[in-house]
Amino acid sequence: MKRRDFSFAAISAAAVTNLPVVVHAQGPAPAKKPVEGTDYLPLDKRVPTDVGVGKIEVIEFFWYSCPHCNAFEPQFTAWKKAAPKDVVIQRVPVRFRDDFEPQQRTYYVFEALNMVDALHGKLFHAIHTERQQLNTPQALAAWADKNGLPEKKFMEAYNSFGVASKARRATQLQEAFKVQGVPSLGVAGRFYTDGSLTQTMDRALQVAEYLIGEVRRGR
């Protein structure tokens, strides 16, 4: 889903599924070498990473209310589990508009309370399968309470300095990588790719693997 699709202030998160589809249906991708400027974009300025020497960071930029992110989530989760030991994978929720902030902060609430595995996929399911309207702090806190995270505990974490700082950092990363849509991938603080560039997110993952290999070879 392209960033420009989020620019209409009157569109609510619940209506996003009616926006134009720009990420093509996933399918077998041709086995060809990724092309710079076509399949991926190098960043003009490197983004610092804190994953340690010998590690390669891969970031998935996402938004809970994005239908394409929801469709990509199972594939990305499987890819994450199979990633080599030198690859450190981070999820970064985007904030293209101010009303994205509640869901952005919610991810970091899950992270702060070690509940990403328990609730991350459930929130996608609640929004896209159950069609729940979960785009305000109050609605998200009530949903969390029904799913094993007490509302009070949720709100304490949601309003904490740590979660607020991580949300600000997420937006800074989004801008540094010049994220044009979600889902999308940032590699090693140096490269960006998404489904619009590669035509499918399956291909985007292949491009990410290629770039990881290039970084290992000292590119």
* CATH code for the domain of 72: 3.40.30.10
DSSP code for 28 = P
List the domain range (segments joined by +) for residue 69: 54-216
Please give the pLDDT value at position 32.
86
DSSP for 143-182, please give it: HHHHTTS-HHHHHHHHTSHHHHHHHHHHHHHHHHTT--BS
Instruction: Confirm whether 172 is domain-assigned.
Output: yes
Instruction: Give the chain's largest Cα–Cα span.
Output: 51
Report mean pLDDT in 10-residue bins for the chain, 219 residues: 49 38 40 92 95 95 98 97 96 98 98 98 98 98 98 98 98 97 98 97 97 94
Instruction: Confirm whether 141 is domain-assigned.
Output: yes
Radius of gyration of the chain (CA): 17
Instruction: Confirm whether 82 is domain-assigned.
Output: yes
Number of domains in the chain: 1
Instruction: Confirm whether 10 is domain-assigned.
Output: no
Contacts (Cβ under 8 Å, ≥6 apart) of 37: none
Please give the pLDDT value at position 219.
78
